[in-house]
Amino acid sequence: MNRLLPTVSLCIGMILPASVIQAAVDYETEIKPLLRQHCISCHGVAKQEAELRLDAGVLILEGGSKPVVIPGNSEESELFQRISSGDKSVRMPPEGSPLTTREIELLKNWIEAGAVFPAEEVFSRSPHEHWAFQPISNPELPEINCNEWSQNPIDRFVYAKYQAEGIEPSDRASSSVLLRRVHLDLTGLPPTIQEQDQFAEKADLNKVISELLSRPEYGERWARHWLDVVRYADTNGYERDAEKPFVWRYRDYAIKSLNDDKPFDQFVLEQLAGDELPDRTLETMIATGYLRLGHWADEPADPKTDRYDQLDDIISTTGQAFLGLTIGCARCHDHKFEPISSKDYYSFLAVFNPLERPREGRTEKTVNFEGTEVYAWNETSPAPNPTFLLKRGSPSNLGEQVEPAVPGVLVDQQPEFPSAGDETCRRRLGLANWMISQENPLTARVIVNRVWQQHFGEGIVSTANDFGVMGAAPSNPELLDWLSYWFIHDADWSLKKLHALMLSSRSWQSLKSPTSINRYRRLEVEAIRDSMLFVSGSLNPKRFGPGVKPPIPLAAIEANTDKGSVWQVSEPEETMRRSIYVLIKRGLIVPMFESLDLADTVSSCPKRQITTIAPQALTMFNGQLTQQLASSFAERLRAEAGSDPARQIQLAWQLSLSHHPSDSELEQMTQFLEKESLEELCRVIFNLNEFYYPE
């Protein structure tokens, strides 16, 4: 066989030269995911059986004690021999089912075609070298030769990257597009006609940005993003799915904190240890409701395991939400992919282990300080019981005793935990203080990236909850570090300053996003519903308080044994409030929210999914809310534009889509109104693609 021009027979019987095969097997999209899925739990950065790593092209070629891949020669390559062997004692992977014929073919073809991989592949020799575990650097701003892009630091990094990659920057979006974008982005509501007119007269975007940031609607929009991350819901889930008493105070706390521009480091402290702060207040106590947002059964079959399940909920969420780490994977075995051991997991658990969930039988109790009921866990003694490592995650299989600690890979030296206070052991305070300290490189990077993701469609790190070795590499590491450093040192952890910096950049004002091919993500269901309420003139601006139950279709509760009481609809005007106030019942999500991709309510959600499914059309076209709001919208149009169809269409377009209709739109809609009612037109508008997208 000609080694220089290896051949392979395809099912169609043609013989193709290697160059074609090479094009057909792509390392990044085919080989790497395959090895990730089947091999790197044992041959990756966390663990290297036979001293072999298969998580980067260079490392694959280096092999273990000997080379395992000989480019161009699969038969002689040990890697190929191992995956294709019929001998179970030799075959890789050693456990579970062997690779499929197709997977074996892929690896064979890749080797035959020369085992090519991209030269710039990023990987770490040791877990300690992983980029996200390094201190946050303060990179120099790149020098660029473009005046328009050199005003804002973000743009200098973005433009420098464009130049390096030969990418043509996209045009600035039109001012009417920008106005709609900034309103929806910051408040989740479109601009009013008056705001559109003012902006058309004088397009001062920075002024609009700061004005919107000072509106209460900003907190109502952005708190929802945070609620996604902390798995917020109003009920416990499982069989009984009981309501969590007063949990909405935590939701309101999040809204108020954002509106007050509470520094993010303080926000972290309060949620993890608000009860342990020397200057604690009712507000910081409410903040610790964060710890109790999880789901659980009221009458668990196995209380011991249940206890650890609930601690796991806190540990897993805290790891992902604040650190971007999947610590939860180390509960039953050392993390297979990340440098996090089971001992790390249980040392982290020791921080939260002193917490108790106040209850009597299956009745949830609240903590009562100064006459206000607070929904939180509490510590009943400053001297907690010892914590043990649980072998294989089993509560009946105790290993060594562990002390509170943060994951070892993140620190050279463990932070010092404060000594116990009068009421609590103050371990959470120790953890929270470390989290917001300069010693920890993750908290600032993770939140800065979340804010970027929301504004630009995709994060600089596309896996917002995973900054570990298995997470995505940052698309612009210098920019992420510059922003994180700036956020801590210049902005004093102010999210509003961070928003203003991002939104005033040319990068954000461009037609395209620098990190996402698809900037124009569909609006979240909350923003869609709130926009419908807003443009139809039906929005009830009332803020805060217990969750609201809007009407839902009978079909949604028909199967419930207690269908008479499971969902008692609120007063009509209450149901017209913003979506963040709608009750999230884990076992019965409002169908409109469910079909339009509400966040998972069980675990931390880094990014909303965007699905396109049939029930969306049914809800949005025939749903009761659409019908009702379409008729309110029509009434409003008649009241404000009179009976002239052209004026009605003009007004409808401006209110709902933030621009005038084009001539052809006007003509089409005028024809539509000759046959159909104004209500029908409004229903159509609520179903336009344009209504669902910020632009």
CB of residue 47 to ligand HEC, shortest distance in Å: 8
Taking CB under 6 A as the criterion, the residue among 45, 56, 83, 233 binding ligand HEC is 83
CB of 392 to ligand HEC, least distance (A): 6
Q: Which residues 646-675 are close enough to bind ligand HEC by CB under 6 A?
A: none
Does residue number 3 form part of the binding site for ligand HEC (CB under 6 A)?
no
Binding residue for ligand HEC (CB under 6 A) from 8, 21, 31, 39? 39
Q: How far is the CB of 328 from ligand HEC (least distance, A)?
A: 6
Residues 563 and 676: their CA atoms lie apart, in Å, by 38
Residues 95-134 that bind ligand HEC (CB under 6 A): 95, 99
Locate 355 and state its tokens.
């917490």
The residue among 642, 631, 643 whose CA lies nearest residue 682 is: 631
Per-residue binding string, ligand HEC, 329-358, x by CB under 6 A, is x-xxx--x----------------------
The site for ligand HEC, by CB under 6 A, has a size of 31
* Segment interacting with ligand HEC (CB under 6 A) among 21-29, 91-99, 168-176, 589-597: 91-99
Please tell me whether residue 442 binds ligand HEC under the rule CB under 6 A. no
Tokens read off for 364: 């949830």
Give the contacts of 624 (CB within 8 A, at least 6 positions apart). 551, 553
Cα-based angle 463, 466, 468 (whole degrees, multiple of 5): 125
Among 8, 45, 46, 52, binds ligand HEC (CB under 6 A): 52
Q: Which residue has the tokens 């303080």?
A: 266
Binding mask 297-336 for ligand HEC (x = CB under 6 A): -----------------------------x-xx-xxx--x
Nearer to ligand HEC, 43 or 180 (CB): 43
Rounded to an integer, what distance in angstroms lies between the CA atom of residue 431 and that of residue 417? 7
Alpha-carbon distance of 626 to 128, in angstroms, equals 54
Q: Name the token pair of 184.
A: 């929806």
What is the footprint of ligand HEC within residues 563-602 (CB under 6 A)? Answer: none
Alpha-carbon span 282 to 416, nearest angstrom: 27
The reply on whether position 72 binds ligand HEC by CB under 6 A is no
Let me know: does 177 contact 695? Beta carbons within 8 Å: yes
For the chain, what's the residue count? 695
Stretch of 45-53, 221-229, 617-625, 685-693 contacting ligand HEC, by CB under 6 A: 45-53
Nearer to ligand HEC, 84 or 616 (CB): 84
Exposure of 334 in the CB half-sphere (CA atoms within 13 A) = 12
Q: How far is the CB of 77 from ligand HEC (least distance, A)?
A: 8
Retrieve residue 309's tokens.
């399940």
Chain residues 384-403 in contact with ligand HEC, contact rule CB under 6 A: 393
Residue with Cβ nearer ligand HEC (83 or 580)? 83
Per the structure block, which two tokens stand in for 337?
């992919």
Rounded Cα distance between 194 and 210, Å, is: 18
Tell the smallest beta-carbon distance from residue 243 to ligand HEC (Å).
Answer: 28
Instruction: Count CB atoms within 10 A of the CB of residue 665.
Output: 14
Q: In Å, what is the CA distance from 220 to each residue of 214, 531, 615? A: 12, 13, 27
Nearest to 294 by CA among 349, 252, 238, 240: 238
Among 21, 92, 113, 367, binds ligand HEC (CB under 6 A): 92
68 is a contact residue toward ligand HEC (CB under 6 A)? yes
Distance CA 481, CA 626 (A): 45
Nearest approach, Cβ of residue 89 and ligand HEC (Å): 8
Give min distance, CB of 408 to ligand HEC, in A: 18
**Interface pick for ligand HEC out of 46, 56, 79, 495 (rule CB under 6 A):** 79
d(CA 496, CA 213): 7
What torsion do the CA atoms of 470, 472, 476, 482 make, to the nearest 10 degrees? Answer: -60
How many Å apart are CA 468 and CA 143, to the nearest integer?
Answer: 31
For ligand HEC, the closer of residues 45 and 79 by Cβ is 79
Query: Omega of the bond prior to 404 within 30 degrees of 0, cis?
Result: no
Taking CB under 6 A as the criterion, which residues in 220-279 touch ligand HEC?
none
Q: How far is CA 684 from CA 269, 630, 675, in A?
A: 47, 9, 14
Among 18, 21, 43, 44, binds ligand HEC (CB under 6 A): 43
Q: Residues 49, 195, 243, 600: which binds ligand HEC (CB under 6 A)?
A: 49
Q: How far apart are CA 662 and CA 668, in angstroms?
A: 10
Q: Which of 8, 21, 31, 42 binds ligand HEC (CB under 6 A)?
A: 42
Burial class of residue 359, CB neighbours in 10 A (0-12, 13-18, 19+):
exposed
- Rounded least distance, CB 50 to ligand HEC, Å: 4
Stretch that binds ligand HEC, among 60-68, 300-308, 355-363, 492-500 (CB under 6 A): 60-68
Binding interface with ligand HEC (CB under 6 A)? 38-39, 41-43, 49-50, 52, 54, 63-66, 68, 78-79, 82-83, 92-95, 99, 326, 328-329, 331-333, 336, 393
